[in-house]
A and B are shown apart, each in its own frame.
Chain A
Amino acid sequence: MKTQSASFEQFSGTSEYISDDSLSAAVNASSVLQRPLLVKGEPGTGKTLLAHAVSDALGMELLTWHIKSTTKAIEGLYVYDVVQRLNDARFSEGDVSDIRKYIRFGPLGQALRSDKRVVLLIDEVDKADLEFPNDLLRELDEMKFHIPELNETVTAVHRPIVIITSNAEKELPDAFLRRCVFHYIDFPDRDRLRKIVSVHHPDLSEQLVASAMEKFYQVRNRPGIRKKPSTSEFLDWLTVLASAGVDSKVLSSAMPFAGVLLKQEQDLASPGSSRSEGW
């Protein structure tokens, strides 16, 4: 019962990205309430792709900030290249009195300075130091930051849509969580997986997809599996199966190219995964 057309730009997936109702609701809530959207889920469930899809669907530019273990919060805002300035001053190159020249804006800084509304992806926030999210609280809350070197405050004209992904490697601080709209991307059920497959491999035979999916869910549900294969691995596997011309009947008894699905030695070694014993 979707009554009245809403007054805000609505996201409901794209032709290449299959969203579900609750995910779309979370994206829309984040956009309307102007809160960062925190997306969690198993690797390979399309967390990062979501940001690309949102940017495509809403026609906004996408800025990406990949987080590494050494990333510091300030780098997302700006970097003041003091060594360059020092060097220029030493060798009298350029105009060192203009500090602005030595300020480089990071993705978050660019997003806040942009004259259009953009989508900002903060990818794998959990890779950084435990304190990292706390250092961003104020900037994400107020969507503004101060540059002491210039004595300037940058305030967002258009609050960007911020999408933050996490693999749950580290726990995020409570204060940070409270400021976010949260969504957990669950592993897709059969219907949704089929839809995703049809987007990526529209010309595969129905039979092959069906038997591959059967096999895939068996592997995922096998007790004791260490690294459950995810959507992206399944799509890779289908590509390999299709290009090798594997017949769908083979799949009922054997599991070709198991290495595409299973990345842990122990999983490959466990009975029946790569040999034709069937389970």
Chain B
Amino acid sequence: MFDALLINLRVQGLKVGVSEWLRFLDGMKKGLATDLEQLYALGRCVLVHSEADYDSYDLAFAATFEGVTLSPKIKEAFELWLQDPKLFDEARESGIHDFSSLEELMEAMNKTLAEQKERHDGGNRWVGTGGTSPWGHSGRANMGVRVGGSGGGRTAVRVAEERRWKNYRQDISLDVRDFKVALRALRHLIREGALSLDIDDTIDKTCKNAGEIELIFRKERANRVRLVLLMDSGGSMNPHTALVSRLFSAATESKFFKSFDHYYFHNCVYQWLYKDFENYDRVLSSEVLRDLTHEHRLIFIGDASMANWELMSPGFAFSKDQRRGIDWLQAFAKKCPGSIWLNPDPQRFWNHPTVRAIGDTFEMFPLTIEGLRDGIQFLKAPR
């Protein structure tokens, strides 16, 4: 039943590593969990590292212990469980495929617990990292030892079933701060900030000066990234206004970029980019393009869906310039390889001709925390 918890956690996408799992078992061995409530609390604080994952933990816990009758003496049940080889047969019967690694894990576990030391630090993970667990959802919770007697263990399951941490899930909540945290990863540090004392050089210089002290200062590290945000506005983007404005405030408030600029466009970039639509405050796209350097990183935000001719026809947007929308985008992508496109539409809508065309030009990521994070990773080392 305890291994069922591990499996359920991994089914929920929590990457519980061997070292944490051993720590959890160690905690049980040391008497930290004498009833199901304590087991719930112990597991949560040892196996979960973010409130965003509390909900997944609750789901896994409920799935594991729902309907399981537990002896009040969990520790004994646990020790019994450790010694019971029949368990593996049951596990095999209930269709666990990767049995050998389970066996290995158990062996490592027994050994480690016997030694009372953790030897598996360093984050080596058990079978498959990306949450591609070979086990299905069904049938697993039935397996496990049933130790006689009825415990008062239902409460913890009920707590778990309440799912009070649902709102903390990362795939749901998106805040300015979440965006900020993600943006913070975007940096390229070089020495050009404030001066600080360089002790090594000072000593070196002083020695060469025969003891006459000479202080050497060196510049501190500063971020070199210049960020430009280009946002599609109006029309089909209206439902996403709140989300985009949150990303915009996060970027504006993030003081750690060397420079930050933002522009708006309708549907696609044409001859002009707008600082402010209402006041008709605009700049030539070609000038923006001209001023881009290798330090610039561009983030386009838009749903990228439009009529085909808006992207592919020359002379659109009432200008003498005959360049098509796609030409402009390609020019930006060429000048600045560190560019990404964030799309607020869910990925299932991306199978649209213009979305595909723009997706061929820029790396496209969904406008979610995960998407932004992946995007930033790309921006840090653009191909």
Chain B 15-41, CB-CB to A under 8 Å as 1, else 0, gives: 001011001001100111011011011
A137 to chain B, nearest CB (A): 10
Contact (Cβ within 8 A) B30 A182: no
Residues of A within 8 A of B38 (CB): 21, 25
- Shortest B126–chain A CB gap in Å is 13
Report whether A7 and B213 are in contact in the complex, using a CB–CB cutoff of 8 Å. no
Q: Is the CB of B152 within 8 A of A1?
A: yes
A141 touches B121 (CB 8 A): yes
| B window 211-260: CB within 8 A of A | 211-213
- In this complex, how many residues of chain B approach chain A with their Cβ under 8 Å: the count is 43
- The answer to whether A168 and B181 touch across the interface, beta carbons within 8 angstroms, is yes
CB-nearest residue of chain B to A30: B45
Within 8 Å by CB of A33, from B26, B48, B72, lies: B26
A4 with B48: CB separation less than 8 A: no
Contact A40 B30, beta carbon cutoff 8 Å:
no
Is A83 among interface residues, defined by CB-CB distance under 8 A?
yes
Known contacts A1-B152, A170-B184, A22 near B49 by CB under 8 Å: no
A89 and B211 within 8 A (CB): yes
Asked if B27 contacts A32 (CB within 8 A), the reply is: yes
Chain B residues whose CB sits within 8 angstroms of the CB of A182 once the complex forms = 45-46, 48-50
Which of A6, A33, A82 is close to B46, meaning CB atoms less than 8 Å apart? A33
B106 at the binding interface (Cβ < 8 Å): no
A26 within 8 A of B: yes
With the chains together, A170 CA to B23 CA distance in Å?
Answer: 26
A-B contact count (CB 8 A): 107
Is the pair A25, B181 in contact by a Cβ cutoff of 8 Å?
A: no
The residues of B that contact A29 with a CB separation of less than 8 Å are 27, 32, 41-42, 45-46
Complex Cα gap A168–B177 (Å): 9
- Do A181 and B184 touch across chains, with their CB atoms under 8 A apart? no
Answer whether residue B54 sits at the interface, using C-beta atoms and an 8 A cutoff.
Answer: yes
B73 touches A3 (CB 8 A): yes
Q: Please give me the residue from chain B that is nearest to A130 by CB atom.
A: B184
Task: Contact check, A170 vs B20: say whether CB atoms are below 8 A apart.
Answer: no
Structural contact, B30 and A175, CB atoms closer than 8 A: no
B199 smallest CB distance to A (angstroms): 5
Tell me which residues across on chain A come within 8 A of B177, comparing CB atoms: 168-169
> Are A3 and B34 in contact, with the CB atoms below 8 A?
yes
Nearest first, the 3 closest Cβ-Cβ pairs linking A and B are A25-B41, A184-B51, A177-B49
| Residues in chain B within 8 A of chain A (CB atoms) | 17, 19-20, 23, 26-27, 30-32, 34-35, 37-38, 40-42, 44-46, 48-51, 54, 72-73, 121, 123, 151-152, 168, 177, 181, 184-185, 197, 199, 202-203, 206, 211-213
Q: Other CB < 8 Å A-B pairs besides A28-B32, A177-B50, 19 of them?
A: A3-B72, A8-B30, A21-B37, A25-B38, A25-B42, A25-B45, A26-B41, A29-B32, A29-B46, A32-B30, A35-B46, A83-B199, A86-B213, A175-B123, A177-B49, A178-B20, A181-B45, A184-B50, A186-B51
Q: List 22 A-B contacts (CB under 8 A).
A: A1-B35, A3-B35, A6-B34, A8-B30, A22-B40, A25-B32, A25-B41, A25-B45, A29-B42, A29-B45, A33-B26, A83-B199, A83-B202, A86-B206, A87-B213, A171-B184, A178-B19, A178-B49, A178-B123, A181-B45, A184-B50, A184-B168
